Structure 1
């Protein structure tokens, strides 16, 4: 296959709300708005943002657990967003999901072995020996003893349940796994084990991951590229190295500034953001981030910023930092020269410019 393994184009999801008596229009929750990205085989794309920004809705749309309002989800060149139920069945094998809660996502009445083999038996008949061999092999791959196949989820620890969820996702040999906050409910030591497991499996099996998280430390450790979402839209998409070294969008700066640092005595930069996240029922006009943005200009209040390619390969939706004309070819050095910084006196200090104190 040529091209990306997964390609998302203009993905949109609106949830209608009850209009009430005699109301002519039906309000909608704009959960996801015009989202586009692609994922190559063996790549990890991380999606980050505040709670309610649409990350989990994107995951459900990719899996077709909910139907999109608009846009396309291309897997192996086929748009699954428009497939009927019987046509979608074959593509279910290509994508699997690891859910956030490792307990509620498992059937408490089934043993670990039954949980692992159940997806496979939806497509082919297995003998008892085949089921046991498959369960033992997958449990071994995720670092668990094959003897655990006879245990119920309630007899496993949180980390073991999440490993079981990963083993179930691997049972159908998928090309891509959607992981929605897969380590957020686990202890830090167990988180590290699960993350290392995912990275090892990716190297062995060339699996692509769409990893959804609000933990930037996890994202920096695991991801190849990062998509930053705000109120249903992607505002910046870049490689991990570029994003954490020099964030461009003001919202990305604020997210990185808010993340905990290992050394509490060190000097950290500030990128203050005032106010609350607007309602997705009635989002602001223009750039949805402009009510909270310290750099907002009049154009931000009127016009929705498109995702503009930058010289370093990232794409950014910001009228100030990535104008649609004129400055997108401007070098990073020219943007950050003293004259330009004086012209933007309200611009917050960037992460790469913070003092290095050892």
Structure 2
């Protein structure tokens, strides 16, 4: 089909804190607030940000593991956010997930072969011969010996378990894989193996990835486009090379400046930003980053900045670096944010 493989429009997720009596207003955790982006076939779209910014919540919303408060999630033009249980089941084959923890995400009572073939058996019956052939093929694809299909997860290393999780995700031939901190629990050498494996599989099978991480070094290596999130909102979205070469939003600058570098002679003289991330229950008015931003002006304290397109194809939400008047000359962009987010 024409158009992006995945299109997210105004995705929102609020978690109410308790229940109100007599229609009393109760506070909510604003985990994700008005997030929009697109993912093309064969693209790696990365989402980065501090802990608690809403990255993992987006992953669960895309998979419908939690229900959205508002917004749309379209796969090939079909809004899966509004599908009922039976209709959603058919779309489960198109999207799979690789979880952060390679230990708790695998059933300890199943063998590696059973873990790989279990998703397929949810849709069709596999005979013993097909079961073993499928498990052996996918184990080879992720760089493991077919003989390991008879082992339990407890008999595998952390890297082997994560490879097994990837093999399970591949078993249904999905178009889209959501990878939520898929290498954060692994040693650096094993991380490199898994990342190279994902890149090879993407080239061979044309899979699109939504790759969620707090490790900017990993994102720079694997990503095509990057969305930077702060307190539930996207503040900058840009091609990977452009983002790391010249970040625009002050928070993106601080995030990149805080990333460790493999050079002990380079010392950071001062903290990029000060203060703590505000509460998602009672976020600041205006731009959520303004209490920590060295460039904040009065407008930042009052008005939420819209995402504005820049000359190099990125979009930025900042009153100082990307004033909203820049879109006034383009009615199409001013009227439909999904257009500028797809650029």
TM-score interval, normalised by the smaller of the two chains: over 0.9
Alignment pair present for 1:299 and 2:336: no
Alignment pair present for 1:27 and 2:30: no
Q: What is aligned with 2:60?
A: 60
- 1:266 deviates by 3.0
Distance 1:10 1:22 in 2: 30
Q: Which has the larger radius of gyration?
A: 1
- 1:150 deviates by 0.1
- 1:20 deviates by 6.6
Q: TM-score, normalising length from structure 2?
A: 0.93
Q: What is aligned with 2:77?
A: 77
Q: Secondary structure at the match of 1:292?
A: coil
- Regions of 4+ moved over 2 Å: 19-23, 266-272, 326-329
Distance 1:218 1:155 in 2: 28
Q: Deviations over 1:268-288 (max 9, x none)?
A: 686621111000000000000
Question: Would you say the 8 A contact 2:5–2:40 is kept in 1?
Answer: yes
Could you say if the C-alpha distance between residues 270 and 209 of structure 1 is closer, same or farther in structure 2, counting changes exceeding 3 Å? farther
Q: What is aligned with 2:151?
A: 151
Question: Would you say the 8 A contact 1:41–1:208 is kept in 2?
Answer: yes
- 1:262 deviates by 1.2
Q: What is aligned with 1:334?
A: none
Q: What is aligned with 1:212?
A: 212
Q: Secondary structure at the match of 2:53?
A: coil
Could you say if the C-alpha distance between residues 69 and 196 of structure 1 is closer, same or farther in structure 2, counting changes exceeding 3 Å? same
Question: Would you say the 8 A contact 1:254–1:270 is kept in 2?
Answer: no
Distance 1:56 1:327 in 2: 31
Could you say if the C-alpha distance between residues 327 and 257 of structure 1 is closer, same or farther in structure 2, counting changes exceeding 3 Å? farther
Distance 1:268 1:281 in 2: 33
Q: What is aligned with 2:336?
A: none
Distance 1:120 1:316 in 2: 41
With 157-166 and 20-29 compared, the bigger mean Cα shift is at 20-29
Could you say if the C-alpha distance between residues 71 and 23 of structure 1 is closer, same or farther in structure 2, counting changes exceeding 3 Å? closer
Alignment pair present for 1:197 and 2:197: yes
With 264-273 and 194-203 compared, the bigger mean Cα shift is at 264-273
- 1:263 deviates by 1.2
Q: What is aligned with 1:254?
A: 254
Q: What is aligned with 1:42?
A: 42
Aligned residues: 329
Q: What is aligned with 1:350?
A: none
Q: Where does structure 2 lack aligned partners over 5 or more consecutive residues?
A: 330-343
Over aligned residue pairs, what C-alpha RMSD do you find? 1.5
Q: Deviations over 1:296-344 (max 9, x none)?
A: 0000000000000000000000000000115999xxxxxxxxxxxxxxx
Distance 1:267 1:65 in 2: 42
Distance 2:91 2:326 in 1: 43
Q: What is aligned with 1:128?
A: 128
Could you say if the C-alpha distance between residues 162 and 22 of structure 1 is closer, same or farther in structure 2, counting changes exceeding 3 Å? same
- 1:264 deviates by 2.1
Alignment pair present for 1:168 and 2:159: no
User: 1:315-326 residue pairs with structure 2 within 5 A?
Assistant: 315-326=315-326
Q: Secondary structure at the match of 2:101?
A: coil
